[in-house]
């Protein structure tokens, strides 16, 4: 690490100097032409997913029942200093994506007023909805499992995307589908969570088959609409979320002390998803379909939390009940009994028991966007280069 890192940082140190000389040299000729930051090849992003990606399509009374205080403090306390209806104390991975692409703003949530503001729309739209499933809501309703009150699935979001394109066309806007980056955030974790009480009739294997099939249909739908650049995120280590840890038997643990059965479920899901993406790439060689390996990123952090600045890998920062997890499903973050968070959220991975802290999302985003092809394949920089060359 030593030599290469030192050489690189020396080059980085030299860079502003070199720029300063160039700018000084041209100053007389063009005073206003200070070198702009390198432009990002993407100006528009469309995002989809569930609460890990939702930047405000739900609020306290429309989001998942168990996390029904997202509009209250201390949600948003770290970065926005108020609730923005993000399920965290600050920015999500999709917000760090907007920053990495130097977009002028974060993506407006589709259901907000900002999304009908044409100039805000330029950066794209976020269609992700907390509580959303990969499988259509009807399936859960038919099986009497619709206690979640978010009726949207990933295919609902595709319908919203179509409505958005129609509205933009109506305003005389050109269709940017082929130039946009499509961010398919983690989707499917809720499908397993909602059916956990009905394991005998609806085994996880059936959920896996159905959920991956729906995600595949969804991604294919984007490709059919002209999408050329896509990043599809897999499931994280859902067995390391405080809620899963609280609910599982104490013996059900793996090598990172998380719930083994739940992590295995996510692992199997991701393998199936990867196989499906592989087929989609063969069928659509004119598109770049990257896989953001949330599982590997999360696992790297769980293996050595302190390396990433975390001292509390399991406890919920904004929770109650104390103990090893500080999580109580009946007194969750933002409820009257839990109106303050831990003193140092940046030391925690878990924010409210199911969603992560901004600090964790930032680490994961760094792995996806700066980690070469270790956590994103093909790599984010490769995707940017292909877009810049106009050759997907």
* Annotated catalytic residue within 50, 51, 137, 293: 51
Site residues for ligand NAG per CB under 6 A = 105, 117, 119-120, 143-144, 254-256, 260, 263, 267, 299
Looking at the Cβ atoms of 115 and 223, the one nearer to ligand NAG is: 115
Active site includes 54? no
Question: 314 to each of 167, 260, 311, 317, 355, how far by Cα in Å?
Answer: 44, 14, 9, 9, 12
Minimum Å gap between C-beta 351 and ligand NAG is 21
Active site includes 191? no
Nearest to 58 by CA among 151, 136, 160, 190: 151
* Annotated catalytic residue within 54, 83, 352, 379: 352
Burial of 19-55, coded b for 16+ CB within 10 Å and e otherwise, reads eeeeeeeeeeeeeeeeeeeeeebbbbbbbbbbbbbbb
Minimum Å gap between C-beta 108 and ligand NAG is 8
Minimum Å gap between C-beta 268 and ligand NAG is 10
Q: Which two tokens stand for residue 371?
A: 């980690």
* Annotated catalytic residue within 95, 242, 355, 379: 355
Looking at the Cβ atoms of 142 and 205, the one nearer to ligand NAG is: 142
DSSP conformation letters of 103-125? -SSPPPBTTSGGGG-HHHHTTEE
Active site includes 328? no
Question: 331 to each of 334, 335, 343, 353, 361, how far by Cα in Å?
Answer: 9, 6, 19, 11, 24
Kindly provide the residue ranges of all beta strands, DSSP E only, lying in the chain, ordered along the sequence: 45-48, 124-126, 181-184, 229-233, 288-292, 312-316, 348-350, 376-377
Minimum Å gap between C-beta 248 and ligand NAG is 12
Minimum Å gap between C-beta 211 and ligand NAG is 19
- Helix, strand, or coil here: 223? helix
Longest dimension (CA), the chain: 77
Looking at the Cβ atoms of 188 and 321, the one nearer to ligand NAG is: 188
Looking at the Cβ atoms of 253 and 281, the one nearer to ligand NAG is: 253
Looking at the Cβ atoms of 168 and 260, the one nearer to ligand NAG is: 260
> Which residues form the catalytic set?
51, 352, 355
């Amino acid at each position: 690490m030593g030599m290469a890192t030192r050489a690189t940082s020396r080059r980085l140190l030299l860079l502003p100097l070199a720029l300063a000389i160039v700018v000084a040299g041209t100053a007389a000729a063009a005073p206003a032409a200070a070198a702009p930051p390198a432009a990002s090849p993407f100006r528009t992003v469309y995002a989809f997913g569930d609460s890990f990606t939702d930047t405000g399509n739900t609020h306290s009374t429309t989001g998942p029942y168990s996390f029904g205080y997202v509009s209250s403090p201390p949600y948003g306390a770290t970065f926005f200093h108020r609730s923005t209806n993000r399920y965290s104390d600050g920015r999500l991975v999709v917000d760090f994506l907007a920053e990495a692409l130097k977009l002028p703003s974060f993506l407006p949530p589709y259901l907000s007023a900002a999304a009908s503001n044409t100039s805000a729309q330029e950066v794209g739209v976020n269609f992700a909805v907390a509580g959303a499933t990969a499988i259509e809501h009807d399936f859960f309703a038919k099986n009497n499992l619709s206690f979640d009150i978010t009726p949207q699935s990933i295919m609902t979001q595709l319908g919203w995307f179509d409505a958005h394109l129609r509205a933009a066309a109506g305003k005389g806007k050109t269709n940017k589908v082929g130039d946009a980056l499509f961010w398919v955030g983690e989707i499917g974790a809720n499908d397993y969570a909602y059916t956990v009480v009905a394991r005998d009739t609806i085994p996880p294997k059936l959920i896996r088959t159905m959920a991956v099939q729906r995600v595949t249909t969804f991604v294919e739908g984007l490709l059919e609409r002209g999408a050329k650049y896509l990043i599809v995120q897999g499931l994280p280590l859902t067995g390391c979320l405080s809620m899963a840890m609280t609910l599982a038997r104490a013996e059900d643990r793996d090598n990172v002390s998380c719930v083994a059965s739940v992590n295995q479920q996510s692992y199997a899901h991701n393998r199936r998803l990867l196989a499906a993406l592989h087929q989609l790439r063969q069928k659509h060689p004119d598109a770049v379909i990257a896989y953001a390996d949330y599982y590997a990123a999360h696992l790297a952090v769980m293996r050595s939390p302190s390396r990433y600045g975390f001292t509390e890998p399991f406890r919920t920062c904004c929770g109650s009940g104390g103990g090893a997890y500080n999580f109580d499903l009946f007194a969750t973050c933002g409820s009257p009994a839990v109106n303050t968070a831990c003193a140092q959220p940046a030391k925690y991975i878990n924010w409210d028991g199911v969603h992560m802290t901004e600090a964790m999302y930032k680490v994961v985003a760094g792995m996806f966007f700066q980690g070469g092809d270790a956590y994103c394949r093909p790599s984010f920089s490769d995707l940017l280069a292909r877009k810049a060359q106009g050759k997907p």
